[in-house]
Structure 1
C-alpha cells in the first residue's frame, strides 16, 4: 500500500536508437571524470536540497520506524467510523511522505557513488526501514476491502474523506475478486512460487555463454548480451549474420529450459487469475489499474490493420541498404549516415529548451531553471549507475540522472527525462500526496511527447536533405521499435496465456512457432524472418518478470503523438488543457479519464489510428526525399 513516486526510464526505449559508432565518436570529445569529486558542482544534482546532513536523514529514518510501529494501533478499527478511517489515512500519509524522502535520498546518493561504503550502509539501512513499513501496513488494504458495501458507500460520500476517494476506490476495485481471509493468506504464502520463474530466468540467462566472433576489422570480440545489438549495427553483413546466428544458437541450446520457465510464469499468471475468478490473466492485470481489456485488444487489432505501412517501411529499408535480401540481422543498421559530432551539454540543454518552446513560456522557465538548479546529474564516472532516470519524492523537487556523452541521443534523453520531471513537478504542486503518484499507463506520455516536440522543432530547422532524412528515419524507427514492436510483444503475450488457459502445451517448439508466425506477420514479405528469430522471446525479460506490461509502451507512445500534434496545431489552448488535465492530474482520476480530459481518448482506437496517420505522413516524406534526383 505504498505510494512511492518512481519513474525509471531504464524500462523504456530512448527516442533515437543512435548507433554505437556514433556514441563512440562523440564520446572521444566528452569530458572524462575518474571520480565524482572531479565533476564541477553545476553538473551534479543537489541532494542537500533534501537533507543537509546525514544526521538529519537518520532522524527521519528513525521517525518513520517509530510511526510504522505505532501505525498498527489502527488495525481492526478502519471500519468503525469515518473519523477512524480518516485518522488512519492521515497518519499513513504523514509517515509515507517522510518514508519516500528518506528512501530516495539514500538510493540516489548511492546511484552516483556506488563504491562509497558509507553510502552502501545508508542504502541497506533505508531498505530495512522500507521493509518494516511494508510489513506494518500490509493489513490495510484487506481490512478496507472487508468493510461492508453499505458502510463504505457512506464513507466515500463523506466530505472528510473526499481527498482519499480515488485512493480508496483503487483498493475497492478488486473487492469482487477478493477471497476469504484464509484463502488470501494461502495465496500470499504461495506468492514466492509465482515469482520463481523470474528468478530462474535471471539465473538461466547468466548461464548462457556466447562465443567470440571476429568484427569487421578481423579482431576477436567476446559476444555478450550487452554488446549484441551494437554488433548488429556493423556495416559488414558478415559480422551481423555471424553475431545473429551464434547468439540465437546459444539461446536455442537452452530452449527447453527457457520454455519451461516461461510456461511456469504463464501458468502462475493464469492460476492466480482463475483463483480470484477473473476471466483471464489479462483482466486480472488490467483491472487493478482501471484499464478495460478492450484497450489492449483494440491496440492489437488497430496495429494489425495498419501492418501494410510497416511493410512499406521495411521495403524502404531494404532499398536504402541496397541488399538483395533483408534479414532480421539487418534491422539495426542505420540506413542514413549520421552526424557524429559532439554536442556539449550546455548546447544540448539549449536545444531542449528551444525545442520545447511550443509548451509555453511558463513551462520553459521551470524547465530551464530546473536544469540550472540542481535537478540533473550529468556526467559518468566508473561507480555511477548507467542509463538515465527521473526520480524524486513528493517533498523534493524532481531529480534526473544522466550519463551524458554528447550524442544527439543524449539530447533527446534530456528531453525525455525532463518530461518525466515536469510531470512530477506539476503533479506534486497541484495534488495532495495521496493522489500524486501517476500510474504506469500515463507515466511515459509526457516524456515521449517532449521527444516528439523536440524532433518536430529540429526537423523544421533542418538545413540539408541529409539531415532531414536522418531525422525522419530515426522518427520512423521509434514507431517501429515502440508502436509496432511492443504491440507484437503484447500479441505474443496474449497468445501464450490463451494457449495455456485452453490447456495446450507451451513447449519450446510451440512457443517458437507462435513467435515466428507473429514476426512474419509484422515484418512482411520483404523481410526474411530467419528461423533463429523464433528464439527472440527468450531475451525479452519483460515476458518473464512482468504480466501484460509492454502494451503500455505502445499506448503511451500513441497518446503522446496525439498530444504533441494538438500542441503544435492549437497552441496555448492545448498547452493549458494538457497541463491542467494531465500534467497536474497525477492519480486524481482513472488514467483513461485523465488522458481523455487532456484530449486523447485511449478507450477508442482513434489515437492508434492517428499515430498511424503520422507514421504514414513521415514515411511519405522520407520516400519523397529518397526518390529525389
Structure 2
C-alpha cells in the first residue's frame, strides 16, 4: 500500500528540518525590522526578504496541513498545522506595510524601478500594485477601513452560523429509516430514485428556510450594502467593478456570459424535456432535476486501470503533458485510497518547492476516475506554472483555476464515449456531462444574473426584503427552466441557502472556466493548428498575465460571447446524442 501514498518526506524529512525552516523565518523577520528603519531605500531588500520568507512559510504551511489531512488522529499533526497557521497570520500582518510603501513613491520614481534590471523580477508585481493607486485611500483611511472590515464580515458570519449551526431540519418520514434532513444529506435526497422522498426533502428544506427568510434577507442585504459602501469609498464606478478589478475583468465579460446563456436557453429546455421523458414523468418538478437518467453504472475501475485510461485519454495533449502525468503516478504525488483519519474528498495542493500533490479517496468507480483526471489537471497546471516562473509570478488566479482540470475531464469523457461498448455506460456518461453543463454553466450564470440584479437595485437605493429577493429569484428560475417545467413556489427561497452570494461576484467564474475548457478541448481534439502549443503556454504562464489575456492567447476569448455560445453548442449536440439513447 505504500506505493499508493504520497511521499511528503520530499518536503521535510525530519522535525529538525522543520525547526530549521521556522528558525530561518524568525531570523529573517528580525532583519526586516532593521530594513524598515529606512524602508524606501531598502525596498528591493524588503521585497527579496518577503519572497524568501513567504516561500519558506508556504512550504511549512502546506506540509503541516497535508500531514494533518493524511491522518488527523495524530495529535502532533494537528498541533503543527495550528502553529503554522498562527505563524503565517503573524507574518502576513508584518508585511502589510509594503503596498502602501510602494504607492507612496512618486510615479516617476516607480517607473524607473520598473524599467531597472535589479527590479525586473518584481516588474509585474509592482505594476499591479500601481493599478490599485486610484482605488487606494490615505494610510489613515485605509487603516480605518481595514479595522472596520470585521464588521463588514458579520453578515457572512451570521449566515454561516444560522445555516450550519442554529437551523434544525425536520425528520424525513418517507425514508426507510426515519432520518433528520441536513445540509449534508439533502443532495443525496434529491438524487434518490424515490420521488416521494425527493419531494418531502425539497418541501421540508424550504419550509424550514421560510421560517428564517427575514433574517437571511437581512444578512444578504447587509453583505450587499457592505460591498456598495466599499466600492464608493474606493472610487469604483459600481459594486460589481470592485471584485472584478483584481482579475482585470471588464464588466462586458460578465454581461456577455449572461447574454450568451440567454440565447441558448432553448437547449436547456430541450434537455429538461429529455429528462422528463427519460424519467417517465408527466410533469418535471424542481425536485426532479438532479435525478440521473440512469442509476450509477456498476463498472469497477481499479486504480491501475484508471491510470491507463487517463494516460490514453490525455494523449491529445502531447508527449510532454503525458510525461508529467506519468511523473505524478510514478513519483508518489498521489495519496490514493481512503483510510481512518484521512481527510475526505479530493484536492491538488503543494507549494513552489514541492510536487503538486493530490489527495484522493479512490473507490474503484467512474466518479473516482473522473475526479482523479480532474485533480491531475490542477497538478499539471501548478507544475508548469512553478517550473517556468520565479516564485513571485508562479501562481495562477482562481479565474483560470478550473480550466485545466475541467479540460482533462472533457478529454476523458470524449475517450470513454468513443471506446465504451455499453449503451448504459454511454447514457450514464452523457447524463454526467450534461449535468455538469446544467449546474456549472446554466445554474451559475443564473446565480450571476441574480447577483447583478440585486446589487443594482441596492445601488439605486432600493431596500430589498425577503419578498423582493424571492420574487427576483423565482422569475429567474422561470426564465432558466422554461414554461414546460413546474417551477415550484418553494424554489423562490433557494437564494437564502447559497453561501456564494456572500463571496461577491464569484460564481460567474465557474461558468466562464467551464466554457473556456470546453472550447479549448474541442480545438485540441480537432488538432487545430497551434492550439496545443498555445494551451501549454497558458499552463506555463503562472501569474505573469491577467486571466482574460491568458485565455485569449490560449484560444478562448472570454470577452466574446461567441466563446460561451460555442461551448453551449457542445451541450446542444450532446442533448441530441442522449435523445437517441433514450428513444
1:601 equivalent in alignment to 2:576: no
Question: Which residue does the alignment assign to 1:444?
Answer: 402
Residue 478 of structure 1: which of 407, 413, 436 is its match? 436
Q: Deviations over 1:149-188 (max 9, x none)?
A: 1211221122222221111122221110111111111101
Closer, same or farther: CA 76–328 of 1 in aligned 2, 3 Å = farther
**Secondary structure in structure 2 of the residue aligned to 1:323:** coil
Question: Which residue does the alignment assign to 2:574?
Answer: 618
TM-score (norm 2): 0.97
Q: Deviations over 1:73-117 (max 9, x none)?
A: 34375544xxx4332222221111111111100111001211211
Q: Deviations over 1:31-70 (max 9, x none)?
A: xxxxxxxxx2112111101000122112102211322332
**Secondary structure in structure 2 of the residue aligned to 1:570:** coil
Residue 585 of structure 1: which of 541, 551, 556 is its match? 541
- For these two proteins, the number of residue pairs brought into alignment is 582
**Secondary structure in structure 1 of the residue aligned to 2:424:** helix
Question: Which residue does the alignment assign to 2:172?
Answer: 213
Question: Which residue does the alignment assign to 2:29?
Answer: 68
Q: Which runs of 5+ in 1 are unaligned?
A: 1-39
Contact 1:542 1:549 in 2 (8 A): yes
Contact 1:170 1:289 in 2 (8 A): no
Residue 348 of structure 1: which of 306, 328, 334 is its match? 306
Question: Which residue does the alignment assign to 2:283?
Answer: 325
Q: Deviations over 1:432-482 (max 9, x none)?
A: 111001111111110000000000111111213333222222111111010
Residue 254 of structure 2: which of 296, 307, 318 is its match? 296
Which structure's relative contact order is higher, taking Cα pairs within 8 Å and 6+ residues apart? 1
**Secondary structure in structure 2 of the residue aligned to 1:449:** helix
- The RMSD of aligned alpha carbons is 1.5
Tell me how far apart the structure 2 counterparts of residues 565 and 496 of structure 1 sit (CA, whole Å): 35
1:421 equivalent in alignment to 2:385: no
Bigger mean CA deviation after superposition, 564-573 or 190-199: 564-573
Bigger mean CA deviation after superposition, 454-463 or 144-153: 144-153
1:460 equivalent in alignment to 2:418: yes
Q: What's the CA shift for 1:259?
A: 1.0
Q: What's the CA shift for 1:517?
A: 0.8
Residue 525 of structure 2: which of 568, 575, 579 is its match? 568
Tell me how far apart the structure 2 counterparts of residues 571 and 144 of structure 1 sit (CA, whole Å): 44
Bigger mean CA deviation after superposition, 184-193 or 149-158: 149-158
Contact 1:482 1:553 in 2 (8 A): yes
Q: What's the CA shift for 1:572?
A: 7.7
Question: Which residue does the alignment assign to 1:58?
Answer: 19
Question: Which residue does the alignment assign to 1:196?
Answer: 154
TM-score (norm 1): 0.90
Contact 1:65 1:133 in 2 (8 A): no
Q: Deviations over 1:518-568 (max 9, x none)?
A: 111101012211111111122211112x11111100010011011111211
Tell me how far apart the structure 2 counterparts of residues 268 and 563 of structure 1 sit (CA, whole Å): 38
Q: Deviations over 1:342-368 (max 9, x none)?
A: 322222222212211111122112202
Tell me how far apart the structure 2 counterparts of residues 401 and 611 of structure 1 sit (CA, whole Å): 30
Tell me how far apart the structure 2 counterparts of residues 225 and 315 of structure 1 sit (CA, whole Å): 29
Closer, same or farther: CA 188–69 of 1 in aligned 2, 3 Å = farther
Matches within 5 A, 1:421-570: 421-544=379-502, 546-570=503-527
Tell me how far apart the structure 2 counterparts of residues 69 and 325 of structure 1 sit (CA, whole Å): 69
Contact 2:297 2:424 in 1 (8 A): no
Contact 1:394 1:433 in 2 (8 A): yes
